[in-house]
Structure 1
């Protein structure tokens, strides 16, 4: 059995709120657009992306702290 690694498709800066989404066609992160507005945050921010223990890149495995752990 082989587990598949699934990369994140969205990230958000914990400091300024900038939100990026992965664009598969461009093979790059792009600034998210919500309600017609680009979620740019602060252009001078050194972004601190919300990478933590809750995201699990292994498909089919429960995330840390999920209800599956109870």
Structure 2
């Protein structure tokens, strides 16, 4: 029997330039700004975000 391979997706990302944080919303299928204790981690709205998800992330184990 073949082993089933599951695709892993990032659940959280952070901009390396302005520290904006986003989480994946599975219900809507899109990224949302992360919040903690009522504080939203919006970063700089004029930043061209450089996300911390790069070639080291492995979608398949």
Query: Same fold by TM (over 0.5)?
Result: yes
RMSD: 1.1
- Gapped runs of 5+ residues in structure 1? 62-70
Q: Give the alignment of 1:28-43 within 5 angstroms.
A: 28-43=30-45
Counterpart of 1:66 in structure 2 is none
Which one scores higher on RCO, CA 8 angstroms, separation ≥ 6? 2
Q: Deviation digits for residues 10-66 of structure 1, max 9, x if unmatched?
A: 0000000000000011111000001210000000000000022432211xx3xxxxx
Aligned pairs (5 A) from 1:1-70: 1-58=3-60, 61=61
Give the number of the structure whose residues are more often helix, by fraction: 1
- List alignment gaps of at least 5 residues for structure 2: none
- What is the number of residues matched between the two proteins? 59
**Structure-2-length-normalised TM-score:** 0.86
Q: TM-score, structure 1 length as denominator?
A: 0.76
